[in-house]
């Protein structure tokens, strides 16, 4: 068994030291820079979603990431802070494994340890990948499984390739089209790969049955919705921003893209260009899909935060850089690229230090602390969905007795997910009403204290107690942001 493992991973008594060193340095680097508290920095607000889903069996986002939330529940069994444990074990650790896999793959393809170390340095200096490796997010572990699948493919381990792609798919749904494109490239060998489909389906598709099951339960439906045709339509609508970027917005998006690439890879773009010169053998075509598909998604997606999906491209770009350096095989170029990558590591450790940034702008932690300090039984009014809302459920799942009331403007009052929420809050809290205004009147009539969460451009401004019912009616229901002057601290 040990001999088989050594054959697959390139580990043996002669060459285990370099991969081990790469892993230890990478893991230490990511842990040092990782956020050590509850934060939304770099994570597009998803941290609260994952924390809530790791305490409560709920569907935090469309499609649900069944394996990730299951791992979150397992991590929740460990002693210590759940945000820190999830960040270290489900972001920093798999990110370090990915850097090590990049080393192993480049060493396998080029047989050059120096170039493999340079490739590992390149991915370690990639700012896009770093931002997802040091916060509570699902991308690091999903990317790790895709890169692991690529290594197994190179080793002609078809079943393990299918298993890795399946586990990645169960973490994040974007892996499914990547797996499909890779399978399409192997259409000439479809008989051999067809035998692995049951493994992929069992590990990557069937886990989504958990999400379907959770949609039939009485858990909060703020983003997921109940199991209905309306909810399924809302799921599909959640991806409507994909492919929606107008031609007028493309120049700005391209400028942002090239800025991100230069900030992430520096001089490594030169050997990358060399590696991608035609002709392309199949293993290069798979590499190109790993690079191009997430980039294509970002360049055509209306949502500007979709740059996070390019975390999938980063390790494959680093692998391509290693292949290009081997083709050029000039010591001066290898040294220049290594120095460039090292400089990016040093710069990122200063400007993208999630731990320091979280301490500098602790609005997420302030939000958490203020919620925890509120009187039990209070009602909190905030907008439907979003990271403030799911973070509120995380606080409630820790045992805090709060009543969530989520407002929405008139455009979404008839939305299926919002109507499901109205049914749920009436059932669980006995609060009646067809919109936020009536719900707030209801809880005020019962003598419940009502607080209003005020997000300002995505940053935390504070929780303010309502001054009167008219304020709730005109400023929340009509969708007008509250100001400090309108409220009583």
Neighbours of 446 (CB within 10 A): 11
* pLDDT higher at 14 or 463: 14
For CA atoms 248, 249, 250, 254, the dihedral sign is positive
Q: What is the pLDDT of residues 96-119, one digit of tens each?
A: 999 999 999 999 999 999 999 999
Q: CA nearest 144: which of 130, 162, 164, 126?
A: 164
Q: Within a 13 Å sphere around the CA of 174, how many CA atoms are in the beta-carbon half?
A: 25
Q: Is residue 356 classed exposed, middle or buried when 0-12, 13-18 and 19+ CB atoms within 10 A define those classes? A: middle
Q: Are strands 378-383 and 402-407 parallel, antiparallel or unpaired?
A: parallel
Q: How far apart are CA 237 and CA 246, in angstroms?
A: 18
Q: How far apart are CA 54 and CA 420, in angstroms?
A: 22
Q: Is residue 452 classed exposed, middle or buried when 0-12, 13-18 and 19+ CB atoms within 10 A define those classes? A: buried
Taking CA 97 as the corner, what is the angle to CA 95 and CA 100, rounded to the nearest 5 degrees?
A: 115
Q: What is the pLDDT of residues 13-23, one digit of tens each?
A: 567 889 999 99
Q: What is the pTM of this model?
A: 0.86
Please give the sequence-ordered ranges of beta strands (E in DSSP) within 234-273, or none if there are none. Answer: none
- Lowest mean pLDDT segment, chosen from 151-165, 209-223, 301-315: 209-223
Maximum Cα interatomic distance, the chain, rounded to a whole number of Å: 78
Q: Within a 13 Å sphere around the CA of 359, how many CA atoms are in the beta-carbon half?
A: 8
How high is the mean pLDDT of the chain? Answer: 81
3-state secondary structure (DSSP) of residue 461: strand
Q: What is the pLDDT of residues 323-372, one digit of tens each?
A: 999 999 899 999 999 999 999 999 999 999 999 988 887 777 877 888 88
- Residues 289-297, mean pLDDT to the nearest whole number: 94
- Residues 25-43, mean pLDDT to the nearest whole number: 84
Element (H, E) at 404: strand 402-407
Element (H, E) at 351: helix 331-351
Spatial neighbors of 110 by CB under 8 A, at least 6 apart, are 116, 322, 323, 325, 326
DSSP for 257-289? HHHHHHHHHGGGHHHHHHHTPSP--HHHHHHHH
Q: Is 415:234 a contact under the CB 8 Å cutoff?
A: yes
Q: How far apart are CA 79 and CA 179, in angstroms?
A: 36
- Lowest mean pLDDT segment, chosen from 101-110, 204-213, 316-325: 204-213
3-state secondary structure (DSSP) of residue 170: helix
């Amino acid at each position: 068994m040990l001999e088989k493992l050594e054959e697959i991973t390139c580990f043996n008594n002669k060459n285990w030291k370099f991969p081990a060193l790469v892993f230890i340095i990478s893991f230490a680097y990511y842990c040092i820079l990782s956020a050590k508290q509850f934060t939304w920095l770099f994570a597009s607000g998803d941290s609260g979603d994952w924390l809530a889903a790791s305490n409560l069996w709920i569907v935090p986002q469309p499609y649900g990431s069944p394996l990730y939330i299951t791992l979150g529940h397992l991590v929740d069994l460990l002693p210590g802070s759940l945000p820190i444990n999830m960040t270290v074990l489900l972001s920093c650790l798999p990110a370090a494994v990915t850097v090590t896999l990049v080393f192993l793959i480049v060493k396998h393809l080029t047989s050059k340890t120096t170039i493999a170390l340079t490739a590992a340095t390149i991915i370690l200096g990639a700012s896009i990948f770093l931002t997802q490796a040091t916060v509570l997010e699902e991308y690091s572990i999903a990317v790790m499984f895709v890169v692991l699948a690529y290594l197994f493919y190179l080793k002609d381990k078809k079943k393990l390739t299918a298993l890795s792609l399946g586990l990645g798919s169960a973490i994040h749904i974007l892996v499914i089209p990547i797996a499909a494109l890779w399978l399409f490239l192997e259409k000439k060998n479809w008989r051999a790969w067809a035998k692995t489909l049951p493994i992929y389906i069992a590990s990557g598709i069937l886990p989504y049955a958990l999400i379907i099951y959770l949609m039939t339960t009485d858990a909060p439906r703020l983003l997921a919705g109940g199991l209905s045709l309306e909810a399924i339509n809302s799921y599909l609508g959640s991806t409507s921003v994909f492919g929606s970027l107008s031609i007028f917005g493309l120049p700005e998006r391209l400028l942002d893209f090239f800025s991100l690439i230069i900030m992430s890879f520096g001089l490594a773009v030169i050997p990358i260009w060399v590696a991608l010169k035609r002709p392309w053998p199949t293993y290069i075509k798979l590499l190109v899909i790993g690079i191009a598909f997430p980039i294509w998604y970002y360049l055509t997606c209306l949502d500007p935060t979709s740059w996070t999906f390019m975390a999938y491209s980063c390790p494959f770009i680093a692998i391509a850089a290693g292949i290009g350096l081997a083709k050029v095989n000039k010591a001066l170029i290898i040294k220049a690229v290594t120095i460039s990558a090292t400089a990016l590591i040093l710069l990122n450790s200063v400007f993208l230090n999630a731990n320091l940034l979280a301490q500098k702008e602790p609005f997420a932690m302030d939000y958490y602390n203020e919620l925890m300090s509120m009187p039990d039984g209070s009602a909190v009014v905030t907008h439907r969905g979003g990271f403030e809302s799911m973070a509120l459920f995380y606080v409630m799942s820790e045992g805090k007795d709060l009543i969530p009331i989520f407002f929405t403007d008139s455009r979404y009052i008839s939305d299926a997910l919002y109507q499901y929420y109205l049914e749920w809050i009436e059932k669980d809290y006995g609060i009646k009403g067809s919109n936020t205004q009536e719900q707030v009147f209801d809880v005020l009539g019962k003598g419940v204290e009502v607080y209003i969460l005020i997000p300002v451009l995505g940053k935390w401004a504070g929780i303010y107690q309502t001054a009167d019912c008219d304020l709730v009616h005109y400023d929340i229901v009509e969708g007008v942001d509250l100001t400090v002057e309108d409220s009583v601290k």
